[in-house]
Amino acid sequence: MVEIVLGNFKKKSVRCKLAACTYAGPRLFDAYEEKRTDVNIAVFMLDDAYRDRCDNFVLVSGDSDLVPPIKMIRHRFPSKQVIVYVPAQHPTRGHAVELRSSAHASRNLPQNLLKPCQFANPLPDGSGGLLAKPATW
């Protein structure tokens, strides 16, 4: 069973700190920060463990905020296995040492597997509009 749980993005004003910037106006811009995704993942993993919904967890993440729920699952449910796939693009951050060492096993998620799994661009939004993915994707 797959259940979609949406996260949130919080809008915040950020001041540009680039010294070489020549823009004379206010050096503020809107940025969006992802909120609660790691907490949602952690809560659902623990809920699945307590309800005995699975024996194996496969987590695709490089977020070390998920170390505590992995450790709790391993502590409370020693027969359950946690495997982490880290999307390793960055040579240093891609190591995710703490996350990898908290799981039973870990692997790199090959970047060439991600592109064919993305939605079409643009994607109909269901209400007559289109959603376009950022060029960096």
- Containing structural domain, residue 109: 36-113
Residue 7 placed within a domain:
no
pLDDT at res. 39: 92
Residue 15 placed within a domain:
no
Cα–Cα dist 112/131, whole Å: 23
Residue 43 placed within a domain:
yes
Residue 30 placed within a domain:
no
pLDDT at res. 117: 83
Has this prediction a pTM greater than 0.85?
A: no
Phi then psi dihedrals of residue 37, to 5 deg: -60, -50
Residue 50 placed within a domain:
yes
Number of domains in the chain: 1
Q: How many helices (H) and strands (E) does the chain have?
A: 3, 7
